[in-house]
Chain A
Amino acid sequence: MTDSQIIKVNNLIKDYTMGKQFFRALNDINLSVKTGEFCGLVGPSGSGKTTLLNIIGALDNPTGGDAIIMDKSVNALKSKEAAKLRNESIGFIFQTYNLLPIYTVYENVEFPLLLLKKNKRDREEAVMRALEWVGISDKANSKPNQLSGGESQRVAVARAMVKLPKIVLADEPTANLDAANSHNILKTLQKLNSELKTTFIFATHDEKVIGYLRRKIILGDGKVIDDININ
């Protein structure tokens, strides 16, 4: 493995058991992602995009094979170590924003930094910077239920980016947004990718998102069908 290969997936299998039967959601996946890529897992519903993203994010364990994230095998990680990896190196963006409803925008974005035990001044600086990146500084004291969908997703992006993670995993980030908001978010992410060299992996079937990707990993029935680089 070379230094630039931040993610490497080898012969990955994921089975979901349902009673006595099992369903193979991922079937022998092999791929690697280099630092700074802006790529996406693309495929129809049920093709295994979310499942793969969760394993790469150390939220789920493979049934067979392995995923190496920043030189760490997810199979070998204990739950505490997995938490540490997510905490330090991975940012998540979800389809449904998943902001904590009882906390303000500021507090939501601040939360990952609390987990990293950053001091108050560093936190303040980082939170304000992240809110500026997504252009939502004026809503710092709002509650999530006072925000529009586009604003909520921008807060979620700020929360994912605030700790300057090496990897950001975004699962259908635009599914609940209109075209204008989708493009706005995607442009922001593109900009952060080129400025900060953060690696982005999307899971999507949204054409708008696909249009921004520089690499499309096409999934179908739990397999990599195609891998297209655009330069």
Chain B
Amino acid sequence: MIKFLIKGLLRDHHRSLFPILIVSFGVLLTTVLYSFINGELNDLIDSNARFDTGHLKIMTRAYNTMASQMPNDLALTEVEKLILSLNIRYPDYDWTARIKFVGLLDVPDENGETKAQNPIFGLAVNLFGKNSKEGERLNLAKSIVRGHVPEKPREILISEEFAKRMNTVIGHPITLLSTSSGGAIAVQNFIVCGTVKFGAAVMDRGAMIADLSDLQYTLEMPNGASEILGFNKKNYYDPDETKIIKTNFNSLFSNAGNQYSPLMLTLEDQNELGEYLQYITVLTLVIIGIFLAAMSVVLLNTGLMSGIRRYGEIGVRLALGQSKDQIYKSLLYESALIGFIGSVTGTALGLAVSLYLQEFGIDITETLRNTSIMMSNIIKARISIASFYIGFIPGLLATLIGTALSGIQIFKRQTASLFKEFET
């Protein structure tokens, strides 16, 4: 009997191949869509963390209130000591100091005359510390377009786009004009040792990366820093853990009465990322929900159609002595098999496409030229555990429910009127 049913499935493409294709396609789309949103979200968190927020960030209370202006006169002091105790208290995180600054970059010609001058955003990180992961974190080596990563003090990287605009030659000196922490004019010569593509439009428009010590010296901030960032050593943002650390740190070190006392923030406390993440999560659920509903309706309809197509066959099987229960069961088995094969195929294909997007991505640099969100220019998917079932389960269920409902429709009819359909 089972052989008989399987023969039927294999020979009648209307009840095997087509439903399987439909299920696979729906499941494929759902899986890819989910992985894609997941990837974008992850990428957003990741690039924000790496370039700006860390998983945790410490600033002075005063700096925090005006952080967008990068007020280095309100920066953290005695940073080394603080990092030392952070490393002891929260050893699962990598703690590192950064200085953020704004200024003008001045490119002199052979005679020392200004050839071009342009505003710049600067990030000074620990480039040369022997345990520093900052170079890797900012992906410097891989982002180099020309030249090389800084190997000694006073060497800086600037964005390729900016370098082109300024006609900078690699290896030539360049002058930074900025404001010291004391409010005086700070001037310092650097050597451009290479250019980079940040992969974040806002940085690519005009940013430089320099060594922390150089800027501590230039901006007269000995042992000072704009901020200390904490990164989970597992490279994974854990919202719950960061909240616990934040609360713990602030109760120990922060003092509401002291403007210069340090204050810790989580990633979600910054740049309205928390709300953004919530918004995206809700949006994801809504999109996936709509998608699943649409897919279910299509599959349900397919189930109904194939049921209706088979009224005649079912009538004959009843006349030949098969009971309604047996027929109903066999229809369900068939659709379970089809739903399963379709969902497996769809999930496999969906994961393959997602994996491709995860590994290679789609470059959308051009379309992002005018946005200022700090996100990667590559659309990437990310496979998570949910990618394995987000399409699979609804694919299987929708097929089964479609058949179950159409089956009920069939059996509400009088037995005798079923195979009348055959005759017309």
Q: In the complex, which range does the number of interface residues on chain A fall in?
A: 20 to 34
A57–B319 CB distance below 8 A = yes
A143: nearest residue on chain B (CB-CB)? B11
Q: A80-B325, A98-B312, A102-B8 are in contact. Are A92 and B414 (CB under 8 A)?
A: no
Partner of B4, one of A54, A85, A95, A107: A107
Closest to A96 in B: B423
Q: Does B275 contact A (CB under 8 A)?
A: no
Min CB distance B260 to A, Å, is 83
Chain B residue numbers with a CB within 8 Å of A86 are 318-321
Tell me the B312-362 residues at the A interface (CB within 8 Å). 312-313, 315-326
Nearest A residue to B324 via CB reads: A79
In the complex the two chains form, what is the Cα distance from A158 to B320 in whole Å? 13
Q: Once bound together, how far apart are the Cα atoms of A79 and B326, in whole Å?
A: 11
User: Is there contact, CB below 8 Å, between B12 and A79?
Assistant: no
Task: Count A/B pairs, Cβ under 8 Å.
Answer: 73
Q: Does B415 contact A (CB under 8 A)?
A: yes
Closest Cβ of chain B: how far from A86's Cβ, in Å? 4
Residue pair A83, B324 in contact (C-beta under 8 Å): yes
**Interfacial chain B residues near A84, Cβ < 8 Å:** 321, 323
**How far, in whole Å, are A115 and B325 apart by their CA atoms in the complex?**
13
Q: Are A112 and B321 in contact (CB under 8 A)?
A: yes
Q: Whole-angstrom distance from the CB of B401 to the nearest CB of chain A?
A: 24
Task: Give the CA-CA distance A92 to B1 in the complex, in Å.
Answer: 21
Shortest Cβ gap from A52 to chain B (Å): 11
A107 to B325, CA, bound (A): 22
A225 close to B (CB within 8 Å)? no
Name the residue in A85, A87, A115 with the highest tally of chain B Cβ atoms < 10 Å from its Cβ.
A115
| Chain A residue at minimal CB-CB distance from B316 | A98
Cα A183 to Cα B232 with chains together (Å) = 90
With both beta carbons as reference points, the residue of chain B lying nearest to A79 in the complex is identified as B324
CB of B7 within 8 Å of the partner chain: yes
Q: A188 to nearest B CB, angstroms? A: 20
0/1 interface trace, chain B 1-45, chain A, CB 8 Å (1 if under): 100100110011000000000000000000000000000000000
What sequence of 0s and 1s flags, for each residue 117-138 of chain B, a beta carbon within 8 Å of any chain A beta carbon? 0000000000000000000000
Contact of B323 among A57, A79, A92, A95 (CB under 8 A): A79
Which chain A residues in 84-104 approach chain B with CB under 8 Å? 84-88, 90, 92, 94-96, 98, 100, 102-103
Interface centre among B7, B8, B315, B415, by most chain A C-beta atoms within 10 angstroms, is B415
The contact of A95 among B317, B325, B326, B423, by CB within 8 Å, is: B423
Q: Are A100 and B316 in contact (CB under 8 A)?
A: yes
Q: Do A115 and B313 form a contact, CB below 8 Å, given A60-B416, A96-B422, A103-B7? A: no
Contact of B423 among A54, A60, A92, A94 (CB under 8 A): A94
Which residues of B have CB within 8 Å of A92? 319-320
Closest to A86 in B: B321
B409-424 near A? 1/0 per residue, CB < 8 Å: 0000011100100110
Q: How far is the CA of A85 from the CA of B320 in the complex (A)?
A: 10
13 contacts between A and B (CB under 8 A): A59-B319, A60-B414, A60-B416, A79-B324, A83-B321, A86-B319, A87-B321, A88-B321, A94-B422, A100-B8, A100-B313, A102-B11, A116-B321
Query: CB within 8 Å of B: which residues of A?
Result: 54, 57, 59-60, 79-80, 83-88, 90, 92, 94-96, 98, 100, 102-103, 107, 111-112, 114-116, 159
Further contacts, 9 of them, CB under 8 A, given A86-B319, A111-B320: A57-B319, A59-B415, A83-B323, A84-B323, A85-B321, A88-B321, A90-B321, A92-B319, A102-B8
